[in-house]
Amino acid sequence: MDVSFLAPVFDASGPYATVCADVTHVTESADTELDLRVRAIAGKLTEQGAPEAVVEAVRSRLLEGNEGGEAGTVRGRAVVVAADGGVVLDQQLADVPRQEVAEWAPTPDLLPVLRALPGRVPHVVVLTDRTGADLTLATLPGQAEEEETVKGDTFQIRKFQGGGWAHHRYQHNTENKWVHNADDVASHVASVVRRAQPRFVLLAGDVRARQILTDRASGLWSDLVVSMDEGGRAAGADREPVERRAAELVAEHEAREEAEAVEKISSAGAHGLAVTGTAPVVEALRKAQVETLVLADPPDDEKLLVGASPLELGVDQGDMDALGVQEVHSVPAERALVAAAVASTAGVVVVPRAAMPGDIPVAAILRYTDDLTPTPQ
């Protein structure tokens, strides 16, 4: 998972309020139930010493569900608020969180957030007909980052149903316009794919338009196409089946990413391009060697030492002395590791503890090796 979206969290000053909450808002008594849940969360933060500005920021974000509309469809929400009351993270969760989090602490508790987030998989959704298409680029299911409408030629777009000498000319002209419009759509899709590098292109809409567009797909994105029969572009068409299918594909890609990360721990490790265990991973993070940090969930009850920046970290005081770090703080290991991954632009994958080889708490797939990288035995 690309965790660059967490950068604003670590750019802010702590302590932090970290909240993962059930904000389900679908029953007749939802307003009252949500208000009670939020009141309890606010109370926990206050008891832990969070200032009123921080508690109020959390409360207002969680209660957005009471306004109905799109916010009212969210089932789980993660909010992180910095010491000054600024909201530095506000994310919809894939579902109600498995465990509620309401913590005021020097460092944010982001592992439960990462575990509960929907997969962050860049993808393109194309709703097409014979006159053009609606293109949506998204990373999270149902949350568009960019939207674009491609309008084609609509003159004589329908096939002529009559007869006579002009019949074949009209038929041919209409087919040509369909193909021309599909070429225009394909060009726009290729531009988005080239820039955003999505994992898949979900194609829905008119069956003939999908066939023509698939035929016009360039080698750049033809292998990414997933076509579906449900969903249309017409006004009032139900988009829910398309959003549901996109969410299914995102989940499939996320599961594949987790499985590939675990497999790479062994395969890349055989060539020296992966390390396992806390100390080797910490060293690799300090040198920005890590391409993907793989964390086991639940983590060990382990602490790391951290200095003024996320990459000033070590497993003991000797490490910190070697780095020349004077001011040292003890931090839960998984929190320090996530912060270091964000600071070094590494990806993060959270996998069930049982899936990790040898019951290790953490591993890393490396960008490069050096003379100090542990060699496979």
> CB neighbours of 86 closer than 8 A, spacing ≥ 6?
12, 57
Q: How far apart are CA 283 and CA 175, in angstroms?
A: 62
The pLDDT of residue 257: 84
Per-residue pLDDT at 314: 95
Whether pTM > 0.85 for this model: the answer is no
**Distances in whole angstroms, Cα of residue 296 to Cα of each of 124, 159, 228, 265, 277:** 31, 59, 35, 13, 11
Stretch 37-48: mean pLDDT: 96
**Average per-residue pLDDT in the chain?**
86
Q: What are phi and psi of 264, to 5 degrees?
A: -70, -25
Q: Cis omega before residue 51 (within 30°)?
A: no
Give every strand in the sheet of 313-314, ordered side by side: 313-314, 303-306, 329-332
The pair phi, psi for residue 225, each rounded to 5°, is: -75, 130
Kindly write down the DSSP assignment for every residue of 151-197, as one continuous string. Answer: E---TT-SPP---STTHHHHHHHHHHHHHHHHHHHHHHHHHHHHHH-
Please list the alpha-helical segments (H only) found in the chain.
7-11, 30-47, 52-62, 111-116, 167-196, 207-216, 240-269, 278-286, 317-323, 333-343
Which residue would you say has higher pLDDT here, 126 or 157? 126
The mean pLDDT of 345-352, rounded to a whole number, is 92
pLDDT over 90 percentage in the chain: 51
pLDDT tens digits, one per residue of 267-293: 887 778 899 999 999 999 999 999 999
Helix (H, G, I), strand (E, B) or coil at 226: strand
Measure Cα distances from 84 to 1, 89, 163, 348 in Å.
Answer: 29, 14, 75, 28
Q: What is the DSSP letter of 129?
A: E
